[in-house]
Amino acid sequence: MIDLSCKYLGLQLKNPLIIGSSGLTSSVENLKTIANMGAGAVVLKSIFEEQIKFETEKLINSDDPNIKSWQDAFNGIVGKNEYYHDEAYEYITNYAKEHSLKHYLTLVTEAKKAIDIPIIASIHCSTQYDWQYFAKRIQDAGADAIELNVYLLPSNFDKSSSEIEQVYFDIIKEVKKFITIPFSLKIGYYFSSLAQTALKLSETGIAGLTLFNRPYNPDIDINTLEVSSSNMYSSDLEYSHSLRWVALLSGKLKCNIAASTGIHNSETIIKQLLAGADAVQMVSLFYEKHFDVLPGIIKDIENWMTKHNFKSVSEFKGKLSHTNVHNPAAYERVQFIRLYSSIV
């Protein structure tokens, strides 16, 4: 009997396959399909503070009767006194924020009622106060855990690496004060010392790190001479970057690791587990293929385990991590020295 069950963020999962945060995880209908197809857990689409700001502006300019009546009420005093103007704007902004947040909280509560696999909500904020505010509200709505989607591009010439990295720690500190459910961080790889930062992050009490978020990729259209975007979805060859870091960090961090990016099939899932991942997250695959490929992927993992005489995931998880492998240097190598010299 094959046992795929595992623990991730303190939650019991029937298998380590998690459908990652995306538009695919923003409707109860899809979440039901995901659960029926056998996923171990799901990360809901992130609630983006930027999106809420955008929605707020839209709402302020809309025909919403509440907004209209407040605007009318404040119109008499706005302009006469800056204090009242600020107060009125804050009042309306808070109403709009609640309006947008309510949609997300409804998704969390409805999802909890509809499916029996763990639900991990996801947040991306731009101000420190809102990280903890959203996290608390989402916890109260019934999420099993929260993934904080923190991706800071260190492109500011005026900021040192430690100043930028401090932001991650400040967010964790704030969120920790307000919630008791487990939470993880989904990060990118732009750190001056990724290994040390990941270790320090894992020592803050977070339950997991997701390695890595896949950034929006800019491109240039040489016909229109405009900046555009490219490759919204990953390819099945993009997994080696996270594989390397999962292998290097596994067994060293004080929290779980979820591998993410470029995981499109059972072979890659097995590789990530061998490298030491506690779970894997998949997204792009399901934009290309229907969720009904999921049972086949799970079956293929079970067949591989049978073939190799593994009865549970714990019997092979981390077997090929940096710590356990007989040639750890393979994970640290960045130059193809021998390969280069053999190619003329």
Ligand X SMILES: Cc1cc2nc3c(=O)[nH]c(=O)nc-3n(C[C@H](O)[C@H](O)[C@H](O)COP(=O)(O)O)c2cc1C
Per-residue x/- mask for ligand X, residues 77 to 116, rule CB under 6 A? ----------------------------------------
State the burial class of residue 112 (Cβ atoms within 10 Å of its Cβ: 0-12, 13-18, 19+).
Answer: middle
23 binds ligand X (CB under 6 A): yes
CB 218 within 8 A of CB 228: yes
Which residue number, 85 or 241, has a Cβ lying nearer to ligand X? 241
Pick one of 233, 304, 316, 331: the residue that binds ligand X (CB under 6 A): 233
Which residue number, 92 or 101, has a Cβ lying nearer to ligand X? 101
- What does residue 226 show for φ and ψ, rounded to 5 degrees? -125, 160
Task: Give the C-alpha separation, 96 to 102, whole Å.
Answer: 10
For the record, the structure tokens of 125 come out as 């904020």
171-204 as b/e: b if 16+ CB within 10 A = bbebbeeebebbbbbbbbbebeebeebbeebbee
Pick one of 15, 30, 56, 122: the residue that binds ligand X (CB under 6 A): 122
Pick one of 97, 214, 244, 317: the residue that binds ligand X (CB under 6 A): 214
Pick one of 15, 132, 139, 213: the residue that binds ligand X (CB under 6 A): 213
Cβ-based neighbour number of residue 20 at 10 Å: 28
Which residue number, 18 or 92, has a Cβ lying nearer to ligand X? 18
209 binds ligand X (CB under 6 A): no
Q: What minimum distance in Å lies between the beta carbon of 124 and ligand X? A: 6
Q: What minimum distance in Å lies between the beta carbon of 261 and ligand X? A: 4
**Can you give the three-state secondary structure of 120-172, one letter per residue?**
EEEEECCCHHHHHHHHHHHHHHCCCEEEEECCCCCCCCCCCHHHHHHHHHHHH
272 binds ligand X (CB under 6 A): no
- What does residue 209 show for φ and ψ, rounded to 5 degrees? -125, 135
Choose the stretch contacting ligand X; rule: CB under 6 A; options: 152-160, 198-206, 255-263, 295-303.
255-263
- What does residue 316 show for φ and ψ, rounded to 5 degrees? -125, -10
242 binds ligand X (CB under 6 A): no
Which residue number, 51 or 314, has a Cβ lying nearer to ligand X? 51
> Which residue ranges make up the site for ligand X (CB under 6 A)?
20-23, 45-46, 122, 149, 186, 213-214, 232-234, 260-263, 282-284
